[in-house]
Amino acid sequence: MTIMANHHSSLSYLDTARPEPWASFIEQIDRVAPHLGPLSHWLETLKRPKRILMVDVPIIRDDGTIGHYEGYRVQHNLSRGPGKGGVRFHPAVTLNEVMALAGWMTVKNAALGLPFGGAKGGVRIDPRRFSRAELERITRRYTSEIGIVIGPDKDIPAPDVGTNEQTMAWMMDTYSVNVGHTASGVVTGKPIALGGSLGRQEATGRGVYIAAREAGLRRGIPVAGARVVIQGFGNVGGIAARIFRENGAKAIALQDADGAIANPAGIDIPAALTHVAAHGSLAGFAGGEAISGEDFWQMDCEYFVPAALEGQVTPARARNLRTKIVVEGANGPTTPAADDILHERNILVIPDVLANAGGVTVSYFEWVQDFSSFFWSEEEINARLESIMVKAFAAIWQMAEERQVSIRTAAFIIACQRVLAAREQRGLYP
């Protein structure tokens, strides 16, 4: 493993100080140790990323100057298969964050039974401050720099915060040019024309809805008629809001990086999505009243969906939340201390490694389709997604009841058992 200096980030989502994500991940791993029996012998494996690549990403800017940007690719664990995880373009990207995100991908893939290890990547830029041509140059240079560790059977990137299907098209093309043949399986989340999968764009938000519905069924809180509050209104939060609405729920408050809005009668989600597509944020949307961040975190609702960045549900916010179920659309949005407070208050938390696993599940379908050059219909994709998520939810819920632990700890128990069993069976070489 290459040792790199740790970075601390003071940048935030809506000016909230973010705790160190890697510390949160380590604490979550430690909480699982008593439940692993003889496999706990291998637990240290999960506290050390297998491989960290830190790269300089230099480009010529449109004005002729040369810009240098810091990029990362972290492969946390590859015991169960090739690395899998997104690439994030965001000004708050740090090595600490990418390590944690890679760790959560290891757990997520194992909890869902997908044949992948965990990986994650990122470049510390604000994509809104670059032209399309500059973003293409950054993406292609970053891909060339990490090309030594990625590949269809080594590590498969995907979109994340600040990246999209166009980013993936550039990544696939750059990698393909460098290896001398089209390698469509090197990334997922691609445009349909380049081997992307139907249903991939909506998959994470759809999975959030499925997780919420399954939790509601077990807690006697039906989605139909429920009030939903959503932080983050991008690909995950926006799609989840739309599917909640289609199933009879109403979103009464939304928040994005530019502020929060509320409408007790229910926000017109299609209109809000149209506004964001045209203006880039919820700012100026007439379908809700602007509210303070403090008020947003105290809205009465049945479902609260944090779908922005990690570290958002702090202990202070956990004490104020007025919800019955938290469904984590983002990765790592709840700190371990906040988790404990929500547990004490009998607020059910459906963790990120289960709730937002729809995206990587359909990424898996895309990868399989690329290998076979045989593509499925959107109905087949959604049915298979539903099947995998419902089955994983049931197994994790059962583990939580058997061991008398939280849903998060149950998901970590199942995932860590699978990863560490693979580690033990493979053995150490040399």
Residue 332 vs residues 18, 50, 97, 132, 188: alpha-carbon distances, Å? 11, 20, 10, 30, 22
| End-to-end CA, the chain | 15
What's at 281, amino acid-wise? S
120 as an active site residue: the answer is: yes
- Decide if 397 contacts 195 (C-beta within 8 A): no
Burial of 190 (0-12, 13-18, 19+ CB in 10 A): buried
What's at 352, amino acid-wise? D
Residue 187 vs residues 150, 354, 366: alpha-carbon distances, Å? 9, 22, 9
Residue 252 vs residues 53, 194, 209, 226, 339: alpha-carbon distances, Å? 43, 38, 16, 10, 24
Task: Given the residues 120, 190, 250, 324, select the one marked as catalytic.
Answer: 120
Number of CB atoms found within 10 A of residue 233's CB: 29
- Decide if 244 contacts 223 (C-beta within 8 A): yes
User: Annotated active-site positions, please?
Assistant: 120
